[in-house]
Amino acid sequence: MLSTTFSLLAVLVTVSKAALTKRMACPDGNLVSNLACCALFPVLEDIQTNMFADDDCSEAAHATLRVAFHDAIGWSLTQPSFGTGADGSIFIFAEQELSYDANLHIADAFNLEAPFIANHSIGVADFIQFAAAVGLTKCPGVLRPPFLLGRVDATAPAPDGTVPEPFQNVTTILARMADAGFSPAELVALLASHSIGGVHTAPNSPGLPFDSTPSTFDTQFYLETLLTGTLGTVGNGAVETAIAGTLRLQSDSLLARDLRTSCLWQANVNNQALMATSFQAAFAKMQVVGQNILNMVDCSDVIPEPPVLSTTAAQAFYPPGLSRSNIQQSCLLPFPILLPTKPGAPETVPPIAQDPATDGPCQDDGSDCVASFTKST
């Protein structure tokens, strides 16, 4: 009874707080809780129309998300030389940072985003995280990401070695993430990102998806990485996959099977709510790595509402021809039972189309990755 009263009180407090949050009108009529957020609407409108145009969670959304991670992870709790986190250094010092092995193909994101950053008076670090958050809202299954404004742009590049690599072992990857402030659970949550997107095997070539549904933020990625691999290109950080047309990263494969992470991984299978909520929290943390949130403004109300993934569409399934017997389970907890197998013959997943706007002067080795950005900070 007492606890019921308390939770009722909590609900009432939350409701009245929400009702009391003052919403102010921007000059363009948009309502915000802080007028500093008004500056984001022209940026939002521009990227909605011209960067994510007709993008239903395809390459522009994938590329903007990946670079947001690679920028943010330039940070260490122990080594100040590792960078200042989500600070825009990956674009501001692109000629240096994009030459690092782990940043291969981030040039795509640079070519895509640099013209927009140059056209708006928004900081580079803020733009990178804003574009990633808006890009995510194109992906069915994502929960609306929060967004804080006011990062301080970098004055120096991050060194090589801050971004985990697909050929590294679990110990090395977990240590790097822990050194940047992320637990194994948060890493597994963040890797929901690999449910959208894939690898580029060559510059300007179509991408090989990580799962059979690369434009849906669903749990297929966590399921399919647990299937016994029998096909595909191996080496350079890739291991055998179970589904033709897809590519499995060695790091994803190891994390799915390692006893330190396998139960965290498996828990996401057919649990859309867990995947979406844990990603939302870990992503919010990632977006402000190294930044002082006390100096930032909550502009979450600028982020659009993502499309809903229906319960039917969120149902995990075995790809055609595969079943429970193909799962390589390390976690000792029960595996979700009675998942359906998609009917029909085994399919080849089509490649992810390249977005022509990712092609530009900036090269994969970092050369010609220069732009004049207007700095707002």
Ligand X SMILES: *[C@@H]1O[C@H](CO)[C@@H](O)[C@H](O)[C@H]1NC(C)=O
Q: Does 48 participate in binding ligand X (rule CB under 6 A)?
A: no
Question: Least distance to ligand X from the beta carbon of 309, Å?
Answer: 31
Region of 142-150, 169-177, 182-190, 338-346 interacting with ligand X (CB under 6 A) = 169-177
Among the listed residues 16, 121, 155, 169, the single contact to ligand X using CB under 6 A:
169
Length of the chain in terms of residues written: 377
Among the listed residues 172, 183, 228, 374, the single contact to ligand X using CB under 6 A:
172
Q: Does 116 participate in binding ligand X (rule CB under 6 A)?
A: yes
Of 47 and 243, nearer to ligand X (C-beta) is: 47
71 is in an annotated binding site: yes
What count of Cα atoms within 13 Å lies in the side-chain half-sphere of residue 227?
A: 29
Among the listed residues 65, 128, 149, 369, the single contact to ligand HEM using CB under 6 A:
65
Footprint on residues 219-278 left by ligand X (CB under 6 A)? none
What count of Cα atoms within 13 Å lies in the side-chain half-sphere of residue 231?
A: 14
Question: Least distance to ligand HEM from the beta carbon of 323, Å?
Answer: 28
For the residues of 75-111, what is the DSSP string, one character each? --SS-GGG--SSSSHHHHTHHHHTTSGGGTTHHHHHH
Q: Does 374 participate in binding ligand X (rule CB under 6 A)?
A: no
Q: Which of 269, 275, 245, 298 is nearest to 21 (CA)?
A: 298
Q: Does 75 participate in binding ligand HEM (rule CB under 6 A)?
A: no
169 binds, among ligand X, ligand HEM, none (CB under 5 to 8 A by kind): ligand X
Q: Does 257 participate in binding ligand HEM (rule CB under 6 A)?
A: no
Q: Exposed, middle or buried by CB within 10 Å (0-12, 13-18, 19+), for 285? A: middle
Q: Does 349 participate in binding ligand HEM (rule CB under 6 A)?
A: no
| Whole-angstrom distance, CA of residue 233 vs CA of residue 167 | 14
Of 83 and 164, nearer to ligand HEM (C-beta) is: 164
Q: Is 70 a catalytic residue?
A: yes
116 binds, among ligand HEM, ligand X, none (CB under 5 to 8 A by kind): ligand X
339-347, long-range: CB < 8 A, 24+ apart: 339/223, 339/269, 339/270, 339/315, 340/315, 341/317, 342/317, 342/318, 344/320, 345/320, 345/321, 346/243, 346/244, 346/319, 346/320, 346/321, 347/212, 347/243, 347/244, 347/245, 347/319, 347/320
Q: Does 171 participate in binding ligand X (rule CB under 6 A)?
A: yes
Question: Least distance to ligand X from the beta carbon of 153, Å?
Answer: 20
195 is in an annotated binding site: yes
Region of 114-122, 142-150, 249-257, 317-325 interacting with ligand X (CB under 6 A) = 114-122
Q: Does 50 participate in binding ligand X (rule CB under 6 A)?
A: yes
Backbone angles phi, psi at 7, to 5 degrees: -70, -30
Please write down the HEC assignment for all residues of 268-337: CCCCHHHHHHHHHHHHHHHCCCCCCHHHCEECHHHCCCCCCCCCCCCCCCECCCCCHHHECCCCCCCCCC
Rg of the Cα trace of the chain? 21
For the residues of 150-187, what is the DSSP string, one character each? -PPPPSSPPPTT-S--TTS-HHHHHHHHHHTT--HHHH
Catalytic one of 62, 70, 105, 120: 70
179 is in an annotated binding site: no
Region of 61-69, 77-85, 266-274, 296-304 interacting with ligand HEM (CB under 6 A) = 61-69
190 binds, among ligand HEM, ligand X, none (CB under 5 to 8 A by kind): ligand HEM
368 binds, among ligand HEM, ligand X, none (CB under 5 to 8 A by kind): none
218 is in an annotated binding site: yes
Catalytic residues: 70
Interacting residues with ligand X (CB under 6 A): 46, 50, 115-116, 119, 169, 171-172
Please state the residue numbers annotated as binding site. 71, 85, 87, 89, 194-195, 211, 213, 218
